[in-house]
Amino acid sequence: MKHHYYPGTLAPELLARWPGAAGSLPPRPELEHFISVAYQASLLHEEGQPVRCWLVLSALRELPTGSAAGGTYVLELAAPRPYEEQEIRRLSPALRSPGSVLAVRTDAAAGLLIWGMLRGHFPGSPVGADPTPADPAAPQTLLLEVCGPGNLVFYHGHERVLTLQNGHVEGHGFVEYPLAWSRGRFMENIDVLRPQLAAAAIATPPDLMPFLGELAHHVTRRVVSRVRASGHGGMLAYVPTASVPRCVGPAATLRPKYPVRLPGEAHHYNGLQVAIIARLAELGDVSWARYQRAGDARLLELAAAIGQYADLLADLMTVDGALVVTKQLAVVGFGIEVYAPKLALTQVYRAQNANATQLQVEAADRGGTRHRAAYRLCLAEPESMAIVISQDGGVRFVQAQEGKVVFWEQLTL
């Protein structure tokens, strides 16, 4: 049975999980005070917005040598401020940009003090960004993210050590989008798009697959974000296009209440991909970076259309049952029942790191109905993938690896 954690019990848990080679944390009373103030700050609001920010417990002299060269800007206060929840609340609006951190140090006479702000490459990058654990500019010390009422995440540099969520310590989970879940699983897009690009007299770019993968990830992130915000929950499943005739139907694994007539290779999302690639080719750079900084009117128009399509998928997910799309993101049907009663599934595997090279066994029946449906689908159709979103905002990314059903859990922060 879970018990609630507060500073007196959370500090020992952090000390127990802190990397042995990472150097010592401050004495326990000081650590408890650091946690307690951050926890109280998380319950406050500033101008109607909940307090969200990053804190680092480090003196200026303890920051890595050459931080400025690594892109970290230090703004040192001429007169340090007391480390109090109201000070954090007042300063939190200045810390909303990714990479902004409030710096705290110990003073022998005054205790903990807020001595400045840092701006650089810290773990506070947007969800989905690739982690950079080897970044020398990130302080290899205690970093604390205040990310909502009662929700705290503790880091050693870029490595997450412990998460306090809704009063409980979470064993494993990821704040970032688990790229390994879908790595290499959108390959069929290239085979479909090549002839379409050739028909439009567009040369196939050398880095087409990375671009298509990033675009698919972008759509997925928006869908997940929309459904989480709705508080409804849902399930999204991806299946190979070639598998649809076999695994979708009244007597198949996927039994849709609302089947959709597949429009063939020239479906809406594919048409948008071709149009985007064509415009980027005209601009001389078919890359995700160029698409992201689109100032071109045509690209902005296409980006809006991509957003509208993602919103459609999010809306379809709110219908009872699963939404199923192909790996090319064409809608197969919604309100879908996953039917695989003969599959023996007693255990699944929780990914303990981003690449799922470390797994933890869990009972398959620990999740809800949607979770069990996603597990059975991925076991029955190993090339499929699934995302399950709970009503409380929890997200699980599910796939099959070497006969095992593996899931990544994204924390509800």
Structure tokens of 156?
Answer: 């050693």
60 or 9, which is more confident: 9
Residue-range domain boundaries for the chain = 7-170, 179-410
pLDDT at 5: 65
Terminal CA-CA length for the chain:
22
User: Quick one: pLDDT at residue 138?
Assistant: 53
Q: How far apart are CA 148 and CA 39, in angstroms?
A: 9
Q: What is the CATH number of domain 7-170?
A: 3.40.1700
Give the pLDDT of residue 314: 94
Which of the two residues, 73 and 325, has the higher pLDDT score?
Answer: 325
pLDDT, one tens digit per residue, over 78-101 is: 999 999 999 999 999 998 887 889
Average pLDDT, the chain: 84
H or E stretch covering 294: none
Q: Please, how many CA atoms are within 13 Å of residue 219, restricted to the half-sphere of its CB?
A: 27
Identify which has the larger pLDDT, 166 or 163: 163
Contact present, 144 and 96 (Cβ < 8 Å): no
3-state SS assignment for residue 20: helix
Q: Which CATH superfamily is domain 179-410 in?
A: DNA integrity scanning protein, DisA, N-terminal domain (3.40.1700.10)
DSSP letters for 183-210: TT--THHHHHHHHHHHHTT-PPPTTHHH
Distance, CA of 353 to CA of 68 (rounded, Å): 31
- Average pLDDT estimate for 138-149: 80
pLDDT at 175: 64
93-100's contacts with Cβ under 8 Å and 24+ in sequence apart are: 93/46, 93/47, 93/49, 95/53, 95/54, 96/52, 96/53, 98/124, 98/125, 98/126, 99/124, 99/125, 100/53, 100/54, 100/124
* Cβ–Cβ < 8 Å for 92, 52: yes
Q: pTM value?
A: 0.68
pLDDT of residue 381: 93
User: Quick one: which H or E segment has residue 115?
Assistant: strand 111-119
> Taking the CA of residue 129 as centre, how many other CA atoms within 13 Å lie in the half-sphere pointing to its CB?
14
Looking at residue 88, its amino acid is I
β-bridge pairing 347-351 and 404-410 = parallel
What count of other Cβ atoms lies within 10 Å of the Cβ of residue 246? 13
The pLDDT of residue 2 is: 45
User: At how many degrees (to 10) do helices 7-17 and 28-42 cross?
Assistant: 120
Contacts of 244 (CB under 8 A, 6+ apart): 262, 326, 332
pLDDT, residue 220, reads 92
Could you tell me which of 76, 394, 404, 373 has the C-alpha nearest to residue 227?
394
Of 248, 290, 256, 233, the residue nearest 384 (C-alpha): 248
* Residue 132, pLDDT score: 38
Q: How many CB atoms lie within 10 A of CB 264?
A: 10
Residue 30 tokens read as 């000081």
The C-alpha atoms of residue 26 and residue 107 are separated, in whole angstroms, by 12
Q: How many CB atoms sit inside 10 A of residue 379's CB?
A: 20
Nearest of 205, 175, 171 to residue 190 by alpha carbon = 205
- Per-residue pLDDT reduced to its tens digit, 197-254: 888 788 888 888 889 888 999 999 899 988 987 878 899 999 999 999 999 999 999 9
